[in-house]
Structure 1
C-alpha cells in the first residue's frame, strides 16, 4: 500500500492572510475555502489547511520546488523585503547548496519557519 501525505492544519492568527501569503510567495493558485479552513493546495493534491487560532506554535514546513520556481520565490521574497537564510536557525543570510541544489528558509508572518529546496536532502552525490 502506498502512503501519500494528504493535508495538515496550519494554525495562524489570521488564516486568510496566512494562506494568501504562502500561496503568493510560492506562486500557487488562490487559497480555497473548505469548511472552517483556508486551503492552499500543493502538488499531488496535498494541502495546508489554515485555521485561525490565538495559540500559534511556530512549525516548520518545507517545499520541494524546481530551480526556476526557486528563482521566482526568491524574487517574491526579496520584493516583499523578507530576509532568507541558508540554515534553519537563521544564522546565515542567503541560501544553501546542499545536495547540489539550493535551499532557503524564511519566516511566515506568524513565525512559521518555511523552507524551499530544489533537491531532496540526501539526494546529492
Structure 2
C-alpha cells in the first residue's frame, strides 16, 4: 500500500471545477459560453456549469445580495479559434483590450509568440483569452 506521500508524488494534481460568482448565473454562463464557442450545461444544484472541455468546469453561482469581487480567469485557446472569439466579442458589443489594465481597447497582444485579449464579463470579472501559455522562469 502506497503512503500518502508516495501517492502524491505520482499523481498529477489538476483543477476539476471552480465556482464563479455572478449577479445572474445564466447571463454570465451564456456570455462566456458564447464567446468561447461552448455550451452551458444543465443546472447542478445551485450551479450552472460551463464545461471547458479539458476536464475543468466553471460552475456559475448566483450572488445577488453582496458585492462580487472581480476575479481573473485566463483561457488558453487554440490559435485557429482566437479570431472567431474576437468576432463574437465584437458582435456582442464587448470591448476587448491588449492589456489587463484595459488601456489598449480594440487591440490584441502578441505575448510569447501568441495572441491574447482581455474583456469584462457581465459580473465584472476580468477574462483573458490567449493562444500561448505565459513563459515562467
With the shorter chain as reference, the TM-score category is over 0.9
Across the aligned residues of Structure 1 and Structure 2, the Cα RMSD in angstroms comes to 1.1
1:15 & 1:90 partners in 2: Cα distance? 24
Q: TM-score, with normalisation over the residues of structure 2?
A: 0.86
Offset from partner CA, 1:58-116 (integer Å, 9 cap, x none): 11000000112111100000111111101101011211000000000000011100000
Bigger Rg, which one: 2
2:77 & 2:42 partners in 1: Cα distance? 21
SS for the counterpart of 2:43 is: strand
CA shift, 1:30, in A, is 2.7
Contact map agreement 2:40 2:48 (CA 8 A) in 1:
no
Q: Which of 24, 27, 30 does residue 17 from structure 1 map onto?
A: 27
Q: Which runs of 5+ in 2 are unaligned?
A: 1-10
Is 1:117 matched up with 2:127? no
Greater percentage in strand? 1
Is 1:62 matched up with 2:74? yes
Is 1:99 matched up with 2:112? yes
Q: TM-score, with normalisation over the residues of structure 1?
A: 0.94
